[in-house]
Chain A
Amino acid sequence: MIHDKKAHKYGMVIDLDKCTGCGTCAVSCMSENNVPFKEDESDKKDSITWMRVYRLTNNKPFPDTEVAFLPRPCQHCGGKGDHGHSPCVSVCPATATDYGYDTGIVSQIYTRCFGCRYCMAACPYHARYFNWWDPVWPEGMEKYLSPNVSPRMRGVVEKCSFCYHRYQLAREKAYASGSDEIPEADYQTACTTACPAGAIVFGDLNNPSHKVHQIVKPDPHPDPLNPDVVGKSRNPKVFRLLERLGTNPKVYYMSEREWVRKLGDHYLDGEWDKVKNVYGSASHE
């Protein structure tokens, strides 16, 4: 039994100014995690893409139009107050999805899932996908499947696991070398290592020596305006999706462009101007 004494909080920050929308993260994820494909994948509601890249625009007419891309893995929410009650975890009747208090990773156990899809309804980020069909690989192609991740079957829900098998491997490696510290480079997700633009940074948000912590500078105190929100970034360029819901995602986004940051949540007319400077929690600096 491997005992991991320290509580990690793995998370990522994605630089939307660097993201080119090339889709390499999505394909690297599918290749790493044995995600299947079918003849028609153009109905995006049933197209299983643990990492999906959304196209954002500022909706201004020509020639002031601007475009950005937003890669969306599972946000690995900590739930209200960051106590581990993620929206999906709290509704699962089968404990098929659970919150890892040692890693902050939201798991998905395929053989426990019986396909009620409550979690999909609860997820505000559309990060979960249902297997409407059994996966079928063209003849011979199942030879490229990796033994680290079990292929799923019809009737279960799946989603991004922050490449949990890579965490397990890194943990075993650390244990074998007699250390209880997992080096930052030893545990990196498949999307992070693949991104040719270097837009994704992954690591332990609790570890001040990790790059992700240095960029995000998570605020240890609850947001004074909304005590459900914990771990807000003290970097004014960094935001989370639908942050005010209090889901406390561990995926942060970064952009210099105000219109991109504004798209991270829904705002009433004039509301953005009131809240935009509150973001970054200057009060705790």
Chain B
Amino acid sequence: MKVDRRSFLGLGIGAVAGIAISPVGAKLTDDFSIWTQNWPWTPVPPDGEVSYDRTVCHLCPGACGISVRKIDGRPVKIEGLDPYPVNNGGVCLHGIAGLQYLYDPSRVKSPMKKVNNRFVPISWDDAFTMVAARLGELRNDQNPETLACISGSDQGSVPGLFKHFMAAFGSPNYLTMPDLESWLIRTAKTLHGDAYTLGFDIDHSDFILSFGAGLIDGWGSPVACIQAMGTRRQRESTLVQIEPRLSNTAASADRWIPINPGTEADLAMGMCAVLLKENLFDPGFAQGFSGGFMRFTAMVQKEYPLDKVAGITGISASDIQKTAVAFAKAKMPVALPGKGRGEGAQNLKEFAAIHTLNCLSGNVNKQGGTFVKPLPKYLNFPDPVQDTVALKGAGSAPLAGSVQELVTRIDKSGESPVKALLVYNANPCFALNDPSRIRAAFEKIPFKVCVTSFMDETAMASDVILPVSTFMERMEDVPSKAGLAATVVGLSKPMVKPVFNTRSPGDVVIGIARALGGDMAKSFAWNSYDACLEQVTARIWGPLVRKGHVVLSKNLPAGSVKTDFGFLAENPETVKPAGALEFTLIPIDNFRVPPTVPAPSPFAIKIVSDRILKGTDMFVEINPQSAKNLKDGGFATLTTPAGSVPVRVHFNDGIMPGVIGMVKGLGHTLDNRYVSGKGVNVNTLISPKIEPDSGMDAAFCIKAGISKA
């Protein structure tokens, strides 16, 4: 066929008209737009009936009441519970991220045992049998005291069950991680005697002298503290913050006084000297002073004169004098110990010296003051059934006063004095100074059992992992602690059925004891942890279930308080940062990064500043005045006596020249790609240093050098 001009045009016009009229084009466009809007891989959350349930968060010592929104029983959002005596509607980011912990990729999904350095799942029965067999050997060998237990905290019925277990087993070696509460109990013990703790009525105080306590950086019960700070200006309450770095708390304070790192104890002693010299202490309260008050007075006057303290701390003598006098003359002053979150490596001298300021002010057991409270006694465990083996073992001397001291013992002996170890809700292989040393000590312990929800650093170093339900999946009593003025016990309830094959930690202890059989099983005659909880909290169980919480003490602690100055009168030595390098490295507690258990959630890591973490690079803060040839954002090598790591530099005018700051809680190596392998764990750069009087690691900071990489 011949294609002439006419037929060509005709065909062309026909084709154009055909395409224009044909529905194919429109249909294809329509299909295309529908196709581009099909996202079968994007989840469509199922709708359903909305309900709200209440429980108590126990991710941190804060013990906040929370409200859980559910859709057909499926929790979708956590919010603050209002009213609740701790947090009154407030909540923090970690509590909200509680739902992420439920489905966290590093959750341990069933009991595991280590075979050839790999974990294989086993059944609960096998796990209990195996653990009981290994622990039973210790009792058969008449060495029950070679079992040690490390727990994250010391209060509540679950730590109570672990202690009950240790007593029935026959070992005195029950240790807790150094949280703020443990430091407060130690301080109260040193100055006032056994079974006391300290609470601070910062809601009413009109003058808060904080020795680095990060009141809005996670100290104490974080939400309660932030709320108290939120109303502080309206109440015309003054906050003076003393620390080497402009923390968020310092930034919000009325006055920030920079201090040479690690000299807080000397400053507090110097301030005591000022109050005593100027006769600014409360004579009424001083009638309860004993154990060398006169010796203490003479000692601080002699050893802590203003000029000397000014030299040590780097604060001018007039500032020290003025601040001490302002503190003493305030109506309701409170001095707060505990740098940052107040946990980890602190020191007893500092806590005691700071609390002595409270004692001298006389504002103790008064509104707006410091409460010397008896430890809550709402739990009544039956006496453990102890056979002769247990009695002998339990009567032996404890191996150590702290986890670090225990590690030192193991480190120094050829064969580990600890033959088996139970770890519950603690991650010493990450959270304590020099974790590699702790892991090395763990390797010398023949049998380690980790009772945890997550495959964290300590779980990975264990032989058996017994997975426990998270706080959203279990019932438990949650006593408030960490410096709160009121004592509140909350009841946390399961919001959802356990997502994985996990059990309540109480049931785990009972399970091990029953598998051990004999007298051990007799001490644990409960059918389940829930039955145990009901029995041991019998005194408050009714209201606890009805209201969800019980306020044990709201009123001021009654009775006079004796104060013993014996410890401080001896002028214990201040633990100095190790090494001779030019800078001092301090850990920074950042609200968005939890430092211990559990590891940060994906949401928490997501909102960490890109001047703390960039990719996997860790930033350190340094004052530009002392940065020499370093560049802002540039790479550098940070060296301490404990090790050396590559870092990047962040210039911060708000840190003292000569000080390097590194955020604590990053650098995890657990099995969670959203959290793991990011940054550096600052603990790897600090070697522990045991304070002789407390047996605790007191290495808060360390000398460091930094050079351009």
Point out residues on A near B: beta carbons under 8 Å: 17-18, 20-24, 26-28, 30-32, 34, 37-44, 47, 49, 53, 55, 57, 59-63, 65-69, 111, 134-135, 137-147, 150-154, 190, 193-199
Contact = CB atoms under 8 A, between A and B. Distances in A.
Contacts of A38: 674
A31 B96 contact: yes
Given A24-B96, A28-B96, A196-B223, A153 B39 contact: yes
Given A22-B92, A24-B91, A138-B105, A47 B42 contact: no
Query: Which of A60, A147, A150 has the most CB atoms of chain B within a 10 A radius of its CB?
Result: A147
Contacts of B610: 42-44
Contact of B674 (A22, A37, A147, A198): A37
Interface stretch (B70-78, B173-181, B323-331, B698-706): B70-78
A101 to B, nearest CB: 27
B122 interface: no
B226 A62 contact: no
Contact of B246 (A21, A67, A154, A196): A67
Contact of A147 (B45, B252, B652, B678): B45
Please list the 3 inter-chain residue pairs (A to B) with the smallest Cβ-Cβ separation, ordered nearest first.
A27-B93, A196-B90, A141-B103
Interface residues on B, range: 35 or more
A194 B91 contact: yes
Contacts, number: 184
Nearest to B102: A144
9 contacts: A22-B222, A49-B606, A66-B246, A67-B248, A134-B41, A135-B42, A142-B43, A143-B74, A146-B69
Interface of B: 37, 39, 41-48, 69, 71, 74-80, 87, 89-93, 96-97, 99-100, 102-105, 216, 222-223, 226-227, 229-231, 233, 246, 248, 251-252, 256, 258, 499, 591-592, 602-611, 613-615, 623-625, 652-657, 673-674, 678
A27 B615 contact: no
Contacts of B652: 65
Given A22-B591, A62-B654, A67 B45 contact: no
Query: Which of B42, B102, B591, B652 has the most CB atoms of chain A within a 10 A radius of its CB?
Result: B42
Contacts of A190: 77
Contacts of B615: 40, 42-43
Nearest to A24: B93
Given A31-B97, A147-B47, A198-B227, 10 more contacts: A22-B92, A22-B222, A28-B93, A37-B606, A41-B607, A57-B654, A61-B624, A62-B625, A67-B248, A67-B654
Nearest to A32: B77
Contacts of B226: 20, 22, 196-197
B45 A151 contact: yes
Contact of A153 (B42, B602, B606): B42
Nearest to B652: A65
B99 A31 contact: yes
A146 B45 contact: yes
Contacts of A34: 45
Contacts of B42: 134-135, 151-153
A146 B76 contact: yes
Given A22-B92, A57-B653, A144-B103, A41 B606 contact: yes
A24 B601 CA distance: 13
Nearest to B657: A62
A53 B96 CA distance: 17
Nearest to B676: A39
Given A61-B625, A194-B96, A134 B248 contact: no
Given A31-B97, A196-B227, A37 B248 contact: no
A52 to B, nearest CB: 8
A20 B256 contact: no
Contacts of A153: 39, 42
Contacts of B251: 66-68
A194 B79 contact: yes
Nearest to A140: B103
Nearest to B95: A24
Contacts of B46: 147
Contacts of A53: 607
A27 B657 CA distance: 34
Contacts of A138: 103-105, 674
Contacts of A44: 610
B87 A150 contact: no
A194 B46 CA distance: 25
Contacts of B673: 39
A61 B100 contact: no
A63 B256 contact: yes
B633 to A, nearest CB: 13
A28 B610 CA distance: 20
Given A20-B229, A20-B591, A63-B256, A27 B39 contact: no
B655 A62 contact: yes
A183 to B, nearest CB: 16
B246 A65 contact: yes
A62 B627 CA distance: 13
Nearest to B251: A67
Contacts of A26: 93, 607
Contacts of B230: 18, 196-199
A62 B103 contact: no
A190 B93 CA distance: 12
Contacts of A194: 79-80, 91, 96
B100 A63 contact: no
Contacts of B657: 62
A84 B77 CA distance: 33
Contacts of B605: 41
B678 to A, nearest CB: 8
B497 to A, nearest CB: 12
A21 B92 CA distance: 11
B653 A59 contact: yes
Contacts of A196: 80, 87, 90-92, 222-223, 226-227, 230
